[in-house]
Each structure stands twice: as structure tokens, then as C-alpha cells.
Structure 1
Amino acid sequence: MEELLNVPYEERDEAWEAAFFKELPECQFDLLSDSPIQGPDGLPYLAVEIVDQGEPAKDIFDWLGEKGVGLAVNPNNEQPDYIFSYGMIWNFLVRDEFVTDAEVEGENGEVEMEEGQEMVAGTPSETYLPPKVRGIFKEFLIQQGVLNPRIVLLSQDGENYDMCFSLESLGNPPQEEWQGILEGFSWFFPLHYSFSIISEGVIQGIDFVDL
């Protein structure tokens, strides 16, 4: 790990990131604060420093997964060595990898449908949306004034799904705000997930479920 951390920031490419992800779970951390700090994005992060003797990284990951907190690694440097969203943390806990490759990367926004096109609908499994994550995300939405969020999983090919939020349950925000809303939501989920906002009346026969 020491060799990786000595690589200049501008030279840290995908190969560096992959090596960092592989070694980090075997590292040990020193906590730089007793409780999570608020990041520039307004979301909570635990600030840690990589040390020779400290708390095992995997124990810290378990705690973060339970609390709904991200991770800032070596934030006292010129710039942090890495910032992990909460979604990256729980993806590691569930799938043993911080980033999961997706065959088709979706973009957050609208679900586009051609006339007569069929959609496959479903509800999230406990692997796709673990109960703990579901509860943490719902509490966040309630704090934002979304008291009864509703969702459905939609797919055009039966393999790649968007997590679709009911426009009505979000309070009917104007379309120009959707991208920002979904970017905020994405912090809670793995990087390969994609999201959309859709009105409940757009697709007949699709039932949204309470989050």
C-alpha cells in the first residue's frame, strides 16, 4: 500500500485504483474523528488514516454499512487518497468489490419508451437493496420531506434495470431538477446502478411499491 500511496495523484489511473481497492481491505485505520464529519456534499463520512497498527479496515467497513456513512481515506493530505460513497461501501460488503462492472451503464434521468414497447417490472431483492440500506435511504428521504417514497424496477431487456422513483411520491419536482435529485440519491447505491424518475400514470399495469 505504501508504494501505491506514493504515486502522484495525476498518475493514478484505473490500474492504480484496482490495486488500491484490492489492498485496502487488508489495511488498518486510525480514526481521525470520533464521529462522522460532513463532506462538501453535505453527506456523512468517516475520516481515517492508513496506519501500521490500528482498526482493521473490514471492521470499519462493517460499521459504515450499519450506519449509512461514507469513507474518506487520508483526508489530511494535499487531497484525500480516496473518497468512498456509502453505496461503494455496502457493495463491497455484499459483493466483495467496491465497484461492480455493469454490462450496460445506465444514465440517470428519464425512462425512454417507444410506442408499443413492453417493459419488465419488478421489486428489489434483498441483495439488490438490502433491508439495512433500504431503511437508511428511506430515513434520508423522510428528512428531505419525502414521507412516502415509492419505487419500481423497470427494464427494457429483462436484464438491466433502472430503479424508478414515483414522480408523485417525490412531490412532483420540475423536470430540470431530476438530474440533481438522482445524483444525490446515487450516493447511497453502488456505482453500476441507474435511476430514473417516472410518473405513475405513464405505464399502465405497473405497480409502484413503498420504499
Structure 2
Amino acid sequence: MGLFNFYKSKGEKSVAPLPEPESKPYEGDLNKTKILAGLIKTPFEKRDDFWKDAFLGNVNDASFACGNPQVIEGPDGFPYFHLEIPKPNQPFQCYVIKHMVTDFLLQKGLGIVINAGIGNPDWVFSYGDILNFHLRNEFYSESVSWDLPKHEVIQEKEKILIGQPSEMLLPLETRLVMRGFLQTFGIHNAKLLLMNRSRPEGNLQELVFNLTPDKFQSEDHYESIMRSIGWFLPRHYSYVSMHETSFKADFLPL
């Protein structure tokens, strides 16, 4: 989770509202909503791992109200669907995260922010967190801590396997969202492959993009775009960039 003030640095900057996605009203678990309402009363400095586990254990099934505006831009520049704990004894249109994921979040390229009022929101899910929930039914997955160099180098005798990521790793909706994001920066020929490498820590699976510093205005611009790509991917994914000439026949359009 990233904690940051959605309104302090950006103001109430909104994205165009979404059409109503659901064919029938959502039905969430109001008991879990009550649990969340109690949890968010805990001061931020006292929200330990037990608090986080309780929050994540209830958040996907709970009933939420929608904020106004529906979609806001975070200080990181990415769009977030704004959910709020509904006010007691007031009618509201119900939104349930586990249904929203496949209804429109994946397709529209949205994260989620919960209670983005004055000060820190109660929780922030990136698009990659949402994708991980779609693929694994959990927002965050454990991962091996890889000691990777900043610039990847394939050793001469290193054993690697090259292919393309499956739908279970990178669904079509996510590819299209990432492609659209890169195109806004003038990157129209992004390509991708999946590389499996055998390392002492285990088998390393990496998404490899054909994005290299020579294709950008500066090294800083390149590094900024590469960091931004991480917002679209589950946090345990590893991704790198390599010159297309390294595996020219294996790179395919994103």
C-alpha cells in the first residue's frame, strides 16, 4: 500500500466519470463494511500487521459507497476509483471490489483509493495490486528477494528460456492498458517477451521490454517510464529492459 495525500499536492483533479458498469446492482457484505468502519478508527501509527491482515481480509467483499468524483488522479499521476465507507443510515449505491475488478477496473486501467479525504487515505491499491487479486485472489503475493543489477547482462553460458507471457501472467486487458499508457508518451512500438533464468536463489521469471535509454529524451525520462510500468504489475513481478537486438525474433508487440 502507498500512503499519500491525494489532494494536498494535486488538488481535486478528476478524470471523466465512468459509465455504470454493472448489469445489476452489486450486493456486498455489510458486516464486513462494519468491520472496516471500526478498523479505520485506528490511528495510522497503530496500524500494525494484524490491522493490515484484518483490513485486507474484509475489503474485497465489503459494501462501499462511491466518492465524488468517481475517479481521481493521485499525486503519482495515475487514476484511482474513489471508494468510501458509507455513512450510517444513508442510502448509497453499493460498490464491491471483487466485482469491480472484472467489471471495469482491469479494462479501464484503474487503481483504488479508499477514503481519499483530507490527509492520508486509508488504503491505496495500484493497478498491479488489482491485477494480482484477479489472478491470485490476493492483493499481495510473497516473492523472493532477488539481488539484481540495474542493467541486466546475460552471461555467455547462462541457461535461459524465452517465450511470451500467458493470460495467467499478463492478461490482454492489462497489455492494452499498458500499451495505451506508453503511447501517451510517444512510445508506439513497445515489445515484450518472458524470460526464465536459473539463479542460485531459484528460477527467476522476468518480463522483458524493448525499452532502452537510447529511445528516450534522457536517462531520467527512461527511468521514470520504467518505474511507472511497475504500477501496472503485481509487486512480486520482476521486469527489465533489453535491446531488441538481443532477442529480436522473440520480441512481440505489447
Same fold, TM exceeding 0.5? yes
Matching of residue 83 in structure 1 with residue 124 in structure 2:
yes
The 1:107–1:97 alpha-carbon spacing in structure 2 relative to 1, beyond 3 Å, is farther
In structure 1, the residue matched to 2:233 is 189
1:37-85 deviations in Å (ceiling 9; x for gaps): 1111111111110226632332333321221111110111531001110
The 1:108–1:30 alpha-carbon spacing in structure 2 relative to 1, beyond 3 Å, is farther
In structure 2, the residue matched to 1:142 is 183
Counting matched residue pairs gives: 210
The 1:107–1:174 alpha-carbon spacing in structure 2 relative to 1, beyond 3 Å, is farther
Which blocks of at least 5 consecutive residues in structure 2 are unaligned? 1-35
Q: CA deviation at 1:121?
A: 1.4
The 1:37–1:145 alpha-carbon spacing in structure 2 relative to 1, beyond 3 Å, is same
CA contact (8 A) 1:162 1:194 kept: yes
Measured in 2, the distance between the counterparts of 1:120 and 1:135 equals 25
Which blocks of at least 5 consecutive residues in structure 1 are unaligned? none
Matching of residue 36 in structure 1 with residue 71 in structure 2:
yes
* One-letter amino acid of the counterpart of residue 61, structure 1: V
CA contact (8 A) 1:47 1:74 kept: yes
CA contact (8 A) 1:108 1:182 kept: no
Matching of residue 27 in structure 1 with residue 62 in structure 2:
yes
Q: How does 1:75-114 map to 2 (within 5 A)?
A: 75-105=116-146, 109-114=150-155
CA contact (8 A) 1:30 1:50 kept: yes
The 1:204–1:69 alpha-carbon spacing in structure 2 relative to 1, beyond 3 Å, is closer
Measured in 2, the distance between the counterparts of 1:141 and 1:205 equals 20
In structure 1, the residue matched to 2:192 is 151
* One-letter amino acid of the counterpart of residue 68, structure 2: S
Q: CA deviation at 1:99?
A: 0.6
Computing the radius of gyration from Cα coordinates, the structure with the larger value is 2
Q: CA deviation at 1:136?
A: 1.1
3-state DSSP of counterpart to 1:40:
coil
Q: CA deviation at 1:194?
A: 1.3
CA contact (8 A) 1:109 1:178 kept: no
CA contact (8 A) 2:82 2:112 kept: yes
CA contact (8 A) 2:206 2:238 kept: yes
The 1:76–1:204 alpha-carbon spacing in structure 2 relative to 1, beyond 3 Å, is closer
Measured in 2, the distance between the counterparts of 1:121 and 1:194 equals 15
